[in-house]
Amino acid sequence: MLTRREFIGYGVSALFLLSLNERLFAFDTPDVFPLGIASGDPTQNSIVLWTKLNPSVVRKGEEKINLHLSNDPEFKNYQTLPIDLKFLNPRTSTLKITVSDLKPGTQYYYRFEYRGVSSLVGRFRTLPLDKVDYAKIIFVTCQNYPDGYYPAYRHIAQEEALMVVHLGDQIYEKRYGNPRVPGRDIQFPSGKDIANTLEDYIYLYNTYLSDKDYQLARASAPFVYIWDDHEYANDYSFDYSKGMYVLPTHPDWIKNNPKLVMELRKYAIYAWNAFTPANVKINLSDSNPLKWIKIYRDFKIGDLAHLICTDERSYRDPQPCDKRFGSLGCEDQYKRSMLGKEQKEWFFEKLKEKGQRWKVWANEVQFVEGKINNLFGSLDAWSGYLGEKQEIVDFLDKNKLYNTVILTGDRHATLIAEVRKDSKNPDSIVAVEYMTPAISSVNASEIPFYKRNFNLDSLEEFTKLELEQNPWIKHINHRNWGYGVLELTKDYADCKIWSVNKYDPNSDKQLDCHYRYVDSRRELEKIS
């Protein structure tokens, strides 16, 4: 059995690993491994490991790169696994391998070595098979590189987390004005202000992953990535009648060119897969674009938690009604699907599976309602898909899945909310929603969308009205950036949201809020 004390104390402290890797940054490691290392998609017996080699140092005729794997952070004893360089992606110089035959619930350390130079040291823990009393899961979202620094990732690198769940918008496909902090400008190889070639998408990942704090976080714990829209195109959806994707906010020269729209989709998938340590199915030669990639998947943490990751972009119908934000709504909200038929069936089957204390749903966009003066906040979120949303609520209630925790990103705000079967009945909770703020992307304190969408004068008024008119929402913060921490025990599901100042690369963290969900009482409590 893995207890809280054993979990926090396993292997070596995060501060030790952080100190070790900061020292490595000072030598020639970045010259050979410019984007660090990463692990992802842990299972009970496997892990996906990733790195990138500087193409200028790769010698012709050299066929191997070594992977060192150890249970010792100082590698006094380790196993060497030679890897053929034929597995190096020729377009990106990235390497992604799955290491199998590992022991369940075991702490490992790893590093790559090429031509006598070692990479950063990374660590991961395989998922346990048996009883687990405690698990910590970090969840993050939305990290537009020019919008700010990544101090949140420096703090994440010091957390003792089992995994980091990235809820999407790992990159942004467009240059949204000038950078808000020095030294983080975006200049696409194509010369355009929006990604429209494979080289543009590759450039974005190379740029975003150049951030040292992000590299430290990726070395400190396995990441489980899903995506939102900006990994491909803002607010995209799929037109089933035409068999192609819809890019509503892209310039006409892209969105009115069906061939380019679909080429961009392939470029986006190719680049995401090359730079992301994820074990997903890809077939870009399939005639059906819905089969090009399948990212929805699940992970089981002993008998404590079942993490279910969905893809809420690839299969969704176009957003309904007259406008996307501040809409009165329409009947089409009850007719459209976000998940698509096949994924929804899979999702419900996973929810019904037995054996874990908690169901944790990695969900991209806001689930609970947030109407203000009878206007829907965003029909790009679940408000635009009310029929399917109600199906999910009814399914949770019918199957008494009150042990469900929804982790959400996208909105660039903190939000803590009850998911109710009956919005007027506070005793009808079927789940809880925990939303993390953005890592760095602009929030409502910087872009006053509430004026345009709701004709309100201040952010304070906007927040006040949303809380008053939507009593299931218990906490909102539009002025912060940071990350979420989900801590699970047999008795409760805690959420702490930590805030940072993205304008200060050395920012301290401060506690935004701390809530606890006790499903046996179907009660969401404020701790601090």
What is the mean predicted confidence (pLDDT) over 297-321?
A: 98
Residue 413 has pLDDT above 70, yes or no: yes
Assess whether 143 and 223 both reside in one domain: yes
Digit-coded pLDDT (tens) for 353-390: 999 999 999 999 999 999 999 999 999 999 999 999 99
- Whether 113 and 234 map to the same domain: the answer is no
* Site of tokens 């950078």: 179
Does one domain contain both 390 and 495? Answer: yes
CB 245 within 8 A of CB 233: yes
pLDDT of 175 above 80: yes
Q: What is the pLDDT of residue 27?
A: 62
**What pLDDT, on the 0 to 100 scale, is given for residue 61?**
73
Residue-number span of the structural domain to which 149 is assigned: 131-526
Query: What are the tens digits of pLDDT across the range 81-135?
Result: 999 999 999 999 999 999 999 999 999 999 999 999 999 999 999 999 999 999 9
Chosen domain end from 64, 98, 129? 129
In our burial notation (b when 16+ CB lie closer than 10 A, e otherwise), range 177-206 reads eebbbeebebebeeeeebbbbbebbbbbbb
Contact 291, 284 (CB under 8 A): no
The answer on 89 and 173 residing in a single domain is no
Q: What is the model's pLDDT at position 19?
A: 75
Chain centroid, CA 242 distance in Å: 30
461-511 tens-digit pLDDT: 999 999 999 999 999 999 999 999 999 999 999 999 999 999 999 999 999
pLDDT at 23: 66
**Confidence category of residue 323, pLDDT binned at 50, 70, 90:** confident
Domain boundary among the residues 86, 107, 129 is at 129
Q: Are residues 358 and 321 in the same domain?
A: yes
Read off the CATH number of the domain in which 252 is found: 3.60.21.70
Same domain for 198 and 88, yes or no, is: no
pLDDT band at 2 (very low <50, low <70, confident <90, very high): very low
Q: What is the model's pLDDT at position 6?
A: 45
Q: Provide the number of structural domains found in the chain.
A: 2
Which DSSP string do the residues of 394-443 spell out, in sequence order? HHHHHTT-TTEEEEE-SSSSEEEEEEESSTT-TT-EEEEEEE---SSS--
380 plus 504 within the same structural domain:
yes
Above 50 in pLDDT, residue 5? Answer: no
At residue 133, the pLDDT reads 97
Please indicate, yes or no, whether residues 239 and 326 belong to a single structural domain of this protein. yes
Residues 119 and 148 both lie in one domain: no
* pLDDT band of 347, cuts 50, 70, 90: very high
Q: What is the CATH number of the domain that holds 65?
A: 2.60.40.380
Residue 121 contacts residue 110 (beta carbons within 8 Å): yes
46-62 residue pLDDT tens: 999 999 999 999 887 77
Question: Domain boundary residue among 129, 158, 179?
Answer: 129
* Burial zone of 308 (CB within 10 Å; 0-12 exposed, 13-18 middle, 19+ buried): buried
Indicate if 303 and 397 belong to the same structural domain.
yes
- The reply to whether 481 and 359 lie within a common domain is yes
Same domain, 282 and 162: yes
Residue 180's pLDDT band, with cuts at 50, 70 and 90, is very high
pLDDT band for position 25 (cuts 50, 70, 90) = low
Q: Quick one: what percent of the chain has pLDDT higher than 90?
A: 92
